[in-house]
Amino acid sequence: MLRAPNRPVECVTAAHRGKLAYIYVRQSSVNQVRHHQESTELQYRLVDRAVALGWPHERVHVIDEDLGKSGAGTVERLGFKKLIAEIGLGNAGLVLSLDASRLARNNRDWHQLLDLCALFGVIIADGERLYDPCAYHDRLLLGLSGIMSEAELHQIRQRLHQGERQKAARGELRRRAGLSSAVRRSVPVRTFGDWNDPPPGYVEVDFVAHSGTSSPGSFVQTMVLTDIATSWTECVAGADARKWSSSLPSSGLGRCSPFRFKAWTLTMTAPS
């Protein structure tokens, strides 16, 4: 529950109120933003606490760009960077969040925030009390809050992983298939090896002699090449096409083929 003080707070001075108050709002995941809206609304109501501490409503700024982002330091938080920048520019007099875990779940970000607030004389507040980072006891409490916030995240992860391991041991663990798995199931993607078919490059060569009723002498022959795997076809004509068969890979056809010739079979069609 948020409790605004009923008496003036000694650590908040006119110099602090002359600057801006920043409310930092964050939820760790998109699922929490959708289904735990009460927590989000509770954080937005911290604006009333800042007003009760003496800041005009128009000088209270809400930073909520990090809704749906983890504070563990594994993802980039633009809202937290914005808050750090405003403190470093000397614009902030008060930083207010629901608790320490909203600001950071890792000691690196947390102590960066504490050091800057101490350097620029910024008051840190949560839903219950105010902290002056320059005061020894307050700094000690803030440091412990950051340590407990990071340790709490470790305990949450440990409990989740332990539950998954127990389900896996019982054979009850089910993982949701991703989009790529659904695509692979719905689209029959096959390779030549799946059908035990030969890869491209195995060609049937059909020689046809166009000599009419007389075979002696010279006449035109055509050679038709058909790839077994891809049905690629090419037809050429010549006076004696049969001699090409011995040098098919190095011939003009071999150089123009979309693939390298690996083997070929010959079929001769007698003159008619």
Residue 29 a catalytic site member: no
Given the residues 28, 97, 145, 149, select the one marked as catalytic.
28
What CA–CA distance (Å, rounded) separates 57 from 81?
Answer: 23
CA-CA distance, 94 to 16, in Å (whole number)? 7
How far is C-alpha 222 from the geometric centre of its chain's CA atoms?
A: 58
**Tokens, residue 38:** 């009460």
3-state helix, strand, coil split of the chain in percent (to 5) is 45, 20, 40
51 and 123 Cβ atoms separated by less than 8 Å: no
User: 111 to each of 17, 38, 103, 104, how far by Cα in Å?
Assistant: 24, 29, 11, 9
Catalytic residues: 28
